[in-house]
Copies of this chain bind each other. A is one copy, B any other.
Amino acid sequence: MRGYLGRGSVFRTLANISAMTPRPVSEPRPDEFGRPSAHAPGSATVAVIGDGQLARMMHTAAIELGQSLRLLAGSPDASAAQVCADVVLGDYKDLADLRRAAEGCDALTFDHEHVPNEHLNILIANGIAVEPRPSALIYAQDKLLMRQRLKELGVPVPVFAEITSTEDASAFWAKTEGQVCLKTRRGGYDGHGVWFPESEEEFCQLVSELTAKDAPLMAERKVALDRELSAMVARRQSGEVRGWPVVESVQRDGICAEAIAPAPGLDEKLEAQAREIALKVAEGLGVTGVLAVELFEAAGEISVNELAMRPHNTGHWTQDGCITSQFEQHLRAVLDQPLGATDATAAVTVMANVLGAAEDPDMPMSERVAHVHQRFPQAKVHLYGKTHRPGRKIGHVNLCGEDVAETRHNAQLAAGFLVHARWADQDADQAS
């Protein structure tokens, strides 16, 4: 029995085929080392700024679409650079490097949000199709601007305020009765740049220290959340938008540990609202490519936590549990090509992250993978080619199944073995 499949949905479609005419195709040219960087004749080349696992996984999607990527990478052994033919070495904060990467490409996109918008505006002025555009990206870069804009759009966000002084801090403490989450406006991720002060004194002390370091700050009411959700959509310039089933995102220590698709037991009205929010954000902010809207669910209500305008950790399950993966969809969207179906292909898909342990076990990773494959032949292991660091995202496991509890249990066991080289359900001395 197939059960509930958590159908994807088409929010907008295009009647007019002429809107799909692709951009002209780029010419080959030699790479850094004089190797002729051949791309498929007649197909598009997307430049990706960034060399992490998101770029790496975009490349697998590009290959199957008959395309290939050009990377702007910081080093030749970075996650994505290991597996791409056309790699430009450089700094994503350097305009000349960005220009080299963009030259002759059909679209330019990102695996992170840290490229200076002033550079991107220059590239756009020079005719480069930067997707998503700085006019949208600014809301994924600045948490305060994002909340201000979402509030204008009528999208629910927790009570928030800009914090520039200890006076602001005290006022916000009083307003929220001490339920405070302090955030840097820019650059935070995976729990970095987020604090939960337990007293007004601690809050003011933090604000003093951070403002002294010129860190722009904001605060929002700490939500007593039941769980976190993620609503993802893709939008292309011509206007088509498609959404994936809403997933539950399980965080540990501020880092995504699991995603469960579709979100188990999610109220239909809340699911519809989550989808509607993602659509409204994508259209209201003019996002192109994939958009992840991270949501809080609390007491039967949802509000927006964060936005990401790129493939997102909570969308990795789509590689094995969905007709069109977020990586393929992102490429299609940034090239303004028609989007793919987003129906789930299994009753439940669980994604469990592989996060570097405090100490890396002696067993080589390839042997850990062998153990996982031996025990779970149905597990799909995705590794990023990264060296170990405690807490670092080095891979994930996708597992499809019929039953949420069983599928979660097995996905956790599999990811746990890749981290610790032992099975969480066996005594250490029984582990093989």
Residues of A within 8 A of B (CB): 1-2, 10, 14, 17, 20-22, 25, 28, 31-36, 38-44, 56-57, 59-60, 62-68, 76-77, 81-85, 87, 242, 319, 323-324, 332, 335, 337-341, 343, 345-346, 364-367, 369-371, 373-374, 377-378, 380-387, 395, 400, 432
Assess whether A81 is in contact with B337, with CB atoms less than 8 Å apart: no
Chain B, Cβ-Cβ closest to A347: B2
Assess whether A57 is in contact with B66, with CB atoms less than 8 Å apart: no
Q: How far is A63 from B64 in the complex, measured between Cα atoms in Å?
A: 12
Assess whether A377 is in contact with B339, with CB atoms less than 8 Å apart: yes
- Give this chain's copy count: 2
Chain B, Cβ-Cβ closest to A2: B2
Inter-chain pairs besides A17-B371, A22-B364, A82-B85, 16 sampled, C-beta below 8 Å:
A25-B366, A28-B77, A32-B35, A33-B33, A34-B34, A38-B77, A41-B385, A60-B63, A65-B383, A66-B385, A68-B385, A83-B85, A323-B377, A332-B373, A340-B373, A345-B345
Best-buried of A17, A42, A371 by chain B (most CB within 10 Å): A42
Which B residues lie within 8 Å of A371 (CB)?
17, 20
Assess whether B395 is in contact with A66, with CB atoms less than 8 Å apart: yes
Q: How far is A373 from B366 in the complex, measured between Cα atoms in Å?
A: 37
Chain B, Cβ-Cβ closest to A24: B364
Which B residues lie within 8 Å of A42 (CB)?
364-366
- Contact sample, A vs B, 25 pairs, CB 8 Å cutoff: A17-B374, A20-B367, A25-B366, A32-B35, A40-B383, A41-B386, A42-B364, A42-B365, A43-B365, A43-B366, A44-B366, A59-B83, A62-B83, A64-B381, A65-B383, A66-B365, A66-B382, A66-B384, A68-B82, A337-B373, A338-B374, A340-B373, A345-B345, A345-B346, A345-B400
Assess whether A337 is in contact with B41, with CB atoms less than 8 Å apart: no
Which B residues lie within 8 Å of A68 (CB)?
82-83, 385
Q: How far is A42 from B56 in the complex, measured between Cα atoms in Å?
A: 17
Given contacts A22-B366, A346-B345, A366-B42, contact A34 B33 (CB under 8 A): yes
Q: How far is A228 from B344 in the complex, measured between Cα atoms in Å?
A: 32
Closest chain-B Cβ to A33's Cβ sits at a distance in Å of 4
Assess whether B385 is in contact with A40, with CB atoms less than 8 Å apart: yes
Pick the contact of A374 from B20, B34, B44, B319 — CB < 8 Å? B20
Q: What are the 10 A-B residue pairs with the smallest beta carbon separation, nearest first?
A: A66-B383, A40-B385, A38-B77, A2-B2, A33-B33, A338-B373, A33-B35, A341-B377, A338-B374, A20-B370
Q: How far is A21 from B105 in the complex, measured between Cα atoms in Å?
A: 43
Which B residues lie within 8 Å of A383 (CB)?
40, 43, 64-67
Q: How far is A57 from B2 in the complex, measured between Cα atoms in Å?
A: 29
Which B residues lie within 8 Å of A382 (CB)?
64-66
Chain B, Cβ-Cβ closest to A394: B66
Chain B, Cβ-Cβ closest to A371: B17
Closest chain-B Cβ to A407's Cβ sits at a distance in Å of 13
Which B residues lie within 8 Å of A38 (CB)?
76-77, 81-82
Best-buried of A64, A319, A387 by chain B (most CB within 10 Å): A64
Which B residues lie within 8 Å of A370 (CB)?
20-22, 337-338
Which B residues lie within 8 Å of A56 (CB)?
63
Assess whether A83 is in contact with B65, with CB atoms less than 8 Å apart: no
Chain B, Cβ-Cβ closest to A76: B36
Assess whether A17 is in contact with B77, with CB atoms less than 8 Å apart: no
Chain B, Cβ-Cβ closest to A354: B66
Closest chain-B Cβ to A205's Cβ sits at a distance in Å of 41
Chain B, Cβ-Cβ closest to A71: B85
Assess whether A377 is in contact with B32, with CB atoms less than 8 Å apart: no
Which B residues lie within 8 Å of A85 (CB)?
81-85, 87
Chain B, Cβ-Cβ closest to A374: B338
